[in-house]
Chains A and B, each alone.
Chain A
Amino acid sequence: MLVAVIVFSTGFLAAARLLTPVAGTAAWISVLLGGVIGLVIAWLVGSVSSAFPEQNLVKIAEDIFGKPFGKVIGLTFALYCTVVVVLGTREFVLAISISFLERTPFYVTTAVFFILASYAAYLGIEAIARVCFIFFGVVIISIAILGVFAIPVLVPGRLLPLAGRGVIPIMRAALLTASYTGEAIVSLAFLRHLKDKRHVSRAVGTGVAIGTAIMAMTVAYGIMMLGTGGISRVTYPAVETARMVGAGEFLERGEILFLALWFSVAILKLASVFYAAITAIADLLNLDNYRRLILPFGIISMVLSSIPANVAQSFAAVEYFLKYTVWYAIALPALLLIGARVLRHEKGGTPDDSR
């Protein structure tokens, strides 16, 4: 469930805008393809965790590649999480400022984000997961309601041609999506808290699948309601989609309620990635209590997320991130897994026998 939240929450806000120019009308297909890549990543994560139950990422990496190199891998993971936190926050703060808090300074909203994320990290992953579960249900219901109300406004013809601009653009867009679904590797940091160690890949996979489904639906709806041309013009197609839906006389502009609800999910995502980042750092530094890191790390990432001076810069950053992180997301668990296999061959099957 947590993984689903991680995957779809930031992705679906802007996915349509980023993907449609690349893949045209078939953007939703590429989302699904991206989901498949995400499933592969989920499988990799699950395999790693079943090979090393009870251990954290840094420890696993150190076991496989020796201390110095393991630390480097741990560092890249921590950096990856930091980047996700920083960019995610920035994206959200922008969405909120653009949509409904025009006059509030960025740093206020950013600070609120980080205060909440720090509090969540302080309480630990269990608390985050529980809250996720509740809010996730609320968000799913709200999306479903929105979906039903949107039906009169839909123009299914806009989805044609089904193949969009051809196979290659679809694949390229799929890779973009995959970097959202690839954020599932963050769950590597939570593995030792899972109760049922056997079904990790299934759990992460389910999360990825739900996230992908929601994203695909949003993108498809976006195209059907706004058309490919319309989507490229607006900043946040999902918000625009919600804006077009009105529940009759009662709620004329539901998108704010919708944004607010789903903003809550975003905070939870950021909180969990935040938690992943600081626990990874704590493991790197061999600290017993990760809580000491909350304040410094929170302040640093808050400052980092305020660096992009304007909207264009931050979008550029997000696009860079999307282009390259998918490779990291595949490479990290794959590397760990291959390393583990090699190690097992050398030592005669020790790590796998611990089950």
Chain B
Amino acid sequence: MTRLRRLLKGEARRPRMVLGKTPVSLDEKKSGGGEGPDQHEANETPIPDSLDGIEKFLRERLGNESPDVILRRLVIWTSPELDALLFYIEGLTSRDVINMMALRSVMLAERTTALDAGALDRENIATVISTHLVPSGQITVVRSMELAMEHVLTGEGALFVEGSPECVLFEAKGWEHRGIEEPATEKVVRGPREGFAELLRANTALIRRRLRTPDLRLDATIVGVRSKTDVVVAYVEGLTDPDLVDTVKERIDAICVDIMTDSGVLEELIEDHTYSPFPQVQYTERPDRFVAALSEGLVGILVDGSPMALMIPANLSSFFQSPEDYYERFPFGGPLRTLRYIAGVIALIFPALYVAVATFHQEMIPTKLALAIAGSHVPVPFPSLVEALLMEVALELIREAAIRMPDPISQSLGFVGALLLGDAAVSAGLVSPIMVIVVAVTGLSSLIIPHYPTGLAIRLLRFPLLFLSASLGLFGLIAGLIAIALHLGGLTSFGVPYLEPMMKPKELVRDVIWRSPEYTFQRRPEYPSPQDQIRQKAFMRTWIPEVAEKARQDGEALADSRDQSGEEENTRGRG
């Protein structure tokens, strides 16, 4: 206990996790438990000689009253018979595995010659059992009680044998969990419906299934002194920038917290600028999106117990993308993307712009509209700012309430609340009808942004802009916008400038505010600095005569000018 406290205070050094210079995969780490870094733990208790001693020890450490801790005495039917103790946690382990595989095979094993009395002694007994009697894929033999407990608490079963200083651990994980469902936050009309769930291993399987390259790395570590949460860093060897991978691992390694409840907590602990309203790490529930990010050279992070996977680095444009931009045909992908940017701008400045124009620059708008605005504002006793604030706050209230409400009510509340409130406010003379339209359009626009935290940032920044434009008109609004732009300009995500892809006009049209046809994505985006720049062949549609001709010329040019690499798109990157 004191050790824990010292660890949390940062006085004691946490044993270094597997992460670091030499990556070890999750599976290796688990099976190599005996050599794991956990051995550096200061107080290790050797396994007591007698089963009574073991049982007493476990009861003391895990509490006498916990009904899910199962300690089952049994006899292994060898000659001579061996007393053994099976130790597992009910609920974490699969009943089938425990019953069928462990209990049956150990208890009902035929008396084989290999297990005859002469062959067994104190030292090799556990190894012999693990190799001959327990039909399980993952088996570990450990020599300390702490290690045994740690593994059992992750869902393995432990078999102690009377007199042996070793313990056999076998894979038996199987707990109740949510199945693979459609992602709740990133819905698409067209595209896969699978979403990550809470179970880490299921999530890694979803990734492996979509990215079968042997270069996929899933490096595991454990975060949380008490919770001991599994965290996996995913990347593609030979593609992802190794410096980026190292940075991510370093930052995760530096975390020393008590528990790790969700990937959101992890995000906050590793991001560059905590005080910025803009998110610097992408997250997704969609394995397809996650895999696409990995294939572009990003680093992914999965946290056990969280259906939200993180992707690093991020930039502003990544928060305006939706997987559907690519699944839907080209003529619709591009305009939809642009629409989202326009929506972002509207969500950010529309109320502020309205207040500025209505308060300071009435001459800007056509006379008829100006008269209409003025007319609708006559019965309202407040200045435009108060009006706008009233409506904005009401909208935020409705939105927050709709999220916290039980599902059946929330849907109707969203509509009814907004409609009723707006209508009542207008007829009570508190706000003008035009303001209701402004706020409604703003609210709608902010919901179009696919990434929720970015929408939050924009919602938050709307209010200072409102105040600025109410006090200094358009001048204040522009000043505020410049301050935001400067802030974005100075922002980085894991060292990558936040506005990076927007700096390149070519990139801008290709895949930032517009999406070009699939066959033009010849190169990967540059911002994560992937080691391999070329994503696909330059000329794929060679059934079209012109393209075939171009491809032929390109091949010639490539052969001709190896050193003039600047000229041909295709030769760059490779050379």
Residues from chain B with Cβ under 8 Å of A134 in the complex = 485, 499, 502
Q: For B224, list chain A residues within 8 Å (CB).
A: none
CB–CB A263/B364 < 8 A: no
Of residues 472 through 488 on chain B, the ones whose CB sits less than 8 Å from some CB of chain A are 472-479, 481-483, 485-488
Chain A positions 332 through 343: 1 when the CB is less than 8 Å from some CB of chain B, otherwise 0:
000000000000
Is the CB–CB distance between A256 and B361 below 8 Å?
yes
**Contact pick for B475, options A112, A130, A131, A250, CB 8 Å:** A112
Contact A263 B490 (CB under 8 A): no
**A112 — nearest CB in chain B belongs to which residue?**
B479
User: Is the Cβ of B489 less than 8 Å from the Cβ of A116?
Assistant: no
Q: How far is the CB of A268 from chain B (nearest CB, A)?
A: 7
Does any Cβ of A come within 8 Å of B176's Cβ? no
A257 at interface by CB-CB < 8 Å = yes
Q: A251-B364, A256-B474 are in contact. Are A133 and B486 (CB under 8 A)?
A: no
A79 contacts B by Cβ under 8 Å: no
What residues of B have a CB within 8 angstroms of the CB of A101 in the complex?
A: 360, 472-473, 475
B367 lies within 8 A of chain A by Cβ = yes
The answer, among A130, A256, A271, for a CB contact under 8 Å with B364, is: A256
Quick check: A127 and B486 within 8 Å, CB to CB?
Answer: yes
Most buried by B among A112, A128, A135: A112
Interface pair B482/A257, CB less than 8 Å apart: no
Residues of chain B with a CB closer than 8 A to A254's CB: 364
Chain A proximity mask over B352-375: 1 for CB below 8 Å, otherwise 0: 000000001101111100000000
**Is there an interface contact between A131 and B365, defined as CB atoms closer than 8 Å?**
no
Report Cα–Cα, A104/B365, bound state, in Å: 22
Q: How far is the CA of A13 from the CA of B497 in the complex (A)?
A: 33
* A293 lies within 8 A of chain B by Cβ: no
Complex Cα spacing A238 to B256, Å: 60
Interface residue B503 (Cβ < 8 Å from any Cβ of A): yes
Minimum Cβ distance to chain B for residue A339 (Å): 35
Pairwise interchain contact B366-A100, C-beta atoms closer than 8 A:
no
For the complex, give the distance between the alpha carbons of A130 and B486 in Å.
Answer: 8
Pick the contact of A260: B477, B489, B499, B503 (CB < 8 A).
B477
Chain A, 65-117, CB within 8 A of any chain B CB: 96, 100-101, 104, 108-109, 112, 116
Q: Is A124 an interface residue (CB 8 A)?
A: yes
Chain A residues in 8 Å Cβ range of B360: 100-101
Give bound CA distance, A250 to B368, whole Å.
Answer: 10
Given contacts A130-B503, A134-B499, contact A263 B478 (CB under 8 A): yes
Which residue of the partner chain, among B361, B475, B479, B490, contacts A123 with CB atoms under 8 Å? Answer: B490
A116 with B479: in contact, given A126-B489, A131-B486, A256-B474 (CB under 8 Å)?
A: yes
Q: Is A252 an interface residue (CB 8 A)?
A: yes
Report, as a range, how many residues of chain B touch the other chain. Answer: 20 to 34
A123 and B489: CB pair below 8 A?
A: yes
* Contact present for B364 and A126 (CB under 8 Å): no
In A238-259, which residues have CB < 8 Å from any B CB? 249-254, 256-257
Check A119 for interface membership: any CB of B closer than 8 A. yes
Task: Flag whether A267 is at the interface (Cβ < 8 A).
Answer: yes
Instruction: Report yes or no: B478 in contact with A119, Cβ–Cβ below 8 A.
Output: no
The residue that B486 contacts in the complex, of A109, A116, A251, A252, with Cβ under 8 A, is A116
Asked whether B481 lies within 8 Å of A264 as measured between CB atoms, the reply is yes
| Most A C-beta atoms less than 10 A away, residue of B477, B479, B489, B490 | B489
The reply to whether B476 and A257 contact each other, CB–CB distance below 8 Å, is no
How distant is A172 from chain B, measured CB to nearest CB, in Å? 35
| Docked CA distance A257–B487 (Å) | 23
Among the listed A96, A128, A261, which residue makes an inter-chain contact with B489, where contact means beta carbons less than 8 Å apart?
A128
Known A-B contacts A100-B361, A263-B478; A119 and B486 likewise in contact (beta carbons under 8 Å): yes
A120 at the interface (CB under 8 A from B): yes
> Among A109, A127, A249, which residue has the most Cβ atoms of chain B within 10 A?
A127
Measured CA separation A109–B472 after assembly (Å): 9
Please tell me the number of chain A residues within 8 Å of chain B, measured between CB atoms.
36
Q: Which residues of A contact B363 (CB under 8 A)?
A: 252-253, 256
Task: With A100-B473, A116-B482 as known contacts, state yes or no: A252 contacts B489, CB within 8 Å.
Answer: no
Kindly provide the distance from the CB of B7 to the nearest chain A CB, expressed in whole angstroms: 36
Contacts of B361 in A (CB 8 A): 100, 256
Q: Is there contact, CB below 8 Å, between B497 and A130?
A: yes
Chain B at the A interface: mostly helix, strand, loop or mixed?
helix
Cα-based distance from A124 to B489 in the complex (angstroms): 9
Closest residue of B by beta carbon distance from A1? B503
Residues of A contacting B499 in the complex (Cβ-Cβ under 8 angstroms): 130-131, 134
For window 308-323 of B, CB contacts with A under 8 Å fall at: none
Q: Would you give the shortest CB distance from B299 to chain A, in whole angstroms? A: 23
Contact between B478 and A127 (Cβ–Cβ < 8 Å)?
no
* List of A residues within 8 angstroms of B475 by Cβ: 96, 100-101, 109, 112, 260, 263
CB distance from A130 to the nearest CB of B (A): 4
CB distance B485 to A252 under 8 Å?
Answer: no
A203 CA to B30 CA in the complex, in Å?
A: 56
Distance, CA A108 to CA B475, complexed state (A): 11
Instruction: Please measure, in the bound complex, the distance between the C-alpha atom of A112 and the C-alpha atom of B483, giving whole angstroms.
Output: 10
Given contacts A104-B472, A134-B485, contact A252 B365 (CB under 8 A): yes
Q: From residue A349, how far is it (CB to closest CB) to chain B in Å?
A: 29
A100–B503 touching, CB < 8 Å: no
**What is the CA–CA distance of A112 and B367 in the complex, to the nearest angstrom?**
31
B474 contacts A112, C-beta separation under 8 Å: no
CA distance A11 to B566 in the complex (A): 37
Distance, CA A253 to CA B473, complexed state (A): 15
Decide: A257 and B364 in contact? CB cutoff 8 A: yes
A315 CB to closest chain B CB, in angstroms?
A: 21
Inside 8 A of B364's CB, which chain A residues have their CB? 251-254, 256-257
Q: How far is the CB of B337 from chain A (nearest CB, A)?
A: 17
- Least distance between A254 CB and chain B CB atoms (Å): 8
A112-B486 in contact (CB<8A): no
Contact for A267 among B365, B477, B482, CB less than 8 A: B482
Max chain A Cβ within 10 angstroms of own Cβ: one of B473, B475, B488, B497: B475
CB <8 Å contact, B497 and A116: no
Distance in angstroms between the alpha carbons of A124 and B569 in the assembled complex: 33
Closest Cβ of chain A: how far from B366's Cβ, in Å?
A: 5
Bound Cα distance from A318 to B488, whole angstroms = 33
- Complex interface: chain A residues within 8 A of B503 (CB): 130, 133
Neighbouring B residues of A250 by C-beta, 8 Å: 366
Nearest CB of chain A from residue B519's CB, rounded to whole Å: 27
Contact B366 A252 (CB under 8 A): yes
Encode A211-254 as 1/0 by CB contact (under 8 A) with B: 00000000000000000000000000000000000000111111
Contact with B along A253-285 (1 / 0, CB 8 A): 110110011011001100100000000000000
Assess A127 versus B489: contact at CB under 8 Å? Given A116-B479, A253-B363, A268-B482. Answer: yes
Residues of A within 8 A of B (CB): 96, 100-101, 104, 108-109, 112, 116, 119-120, 123-124, 126-131, 133-135, 249-254, 256-257, 260-261, 263-264, 267-268, 271
Q: A112-B479, A253-B363 are in contact. List 8 more A-B contacts (CB 8 A).
A: A101-B473, A123-B486, A124-B490, A126-B489, A130-B488, A133-B503, A134-B485, A135-B482
Closest CB pairs A-B (n = 9): A123-B490, A127-B489, A127-B490, A130-B489, A131-B489, A260-B474, A131-B485, A260-B478, A130-B499
Chosen A-B contacts, 23 in total, with CB atoms closer than 8 Å, are: A100-B475, A101-B472, A109-B472, A112-B475, A124-B490, A126-B489, A127-B486, A128-B489, A130-B488, A130-B499, A131-B482, A131-B486, A131-B499, A133-B503, A251-B364, A252-B363, A252-B366, A253-B363, A256-B474, A257-B474, A260-B475, A264-B478, A264-B482
Q: Which residues of B contact A (CB under 8 A)?
A: 360-361, 363-367, 472-479, 481-483, 485-490, 497, 499, 502-503
